[in-house]
Amino acid sequence: MGRYGEELAARRLTEAGMTVLERNWRCGRTGEIDIVARDGDVLVVCEVKTRRAGAFQHPMEAVTAVKAERLRDLAGRWLRDHGGAPPGGVRIDLVGVVLPARGAPRVEHVRGVA
């Protein structure tokens, strides 16, 4: 389910004009960035959350203050490993994917969540 959601998210970002640079970037035991993309001269670190419709929690609610801090830390580590920040800086986005029992998935993209 998670991989499918990430595929839908990558497609949505690409359709929005972004370039996906990397998927599932791991930093040792610290964690993983689901998608790293470029939006013009801005580097975008994107967290993807996928849920089935009717689940207890909407995907957008899954990014807590602790999760946001971890994403900022991972973004810094990615930048250190890849030559620093681009001219436009870094932004953290969230893509929430809801999979209904029937019909098309709902994909929501929110910019600058953390």
Domain ranges across the chain: 2-110
Contact present, 47 and 92 (Cβ < 8 Å): yes
On the question of pLDDT at 62 being above 70, the answer is: yes
pTM of the predicted model, to two decimals? Answer: 0.90
Name the one residue in this structure whose structure tokens are 């595929």. 7
Alpha carbon distances (Å) from 103 to 51, 99, 100:
14, 8, 6
Helices (H), the chain: 2-15, 65-81
3-state secondary structure of 22: strand
Separation between Cα atoms, residue 112 and residue 43, nearest integer Å: 11
CATH (residue range 2-110): 3.40.1350.10
- The pLDDT value recorded for residue 108 is 92
For residues 24-47, average pLDDT: 92
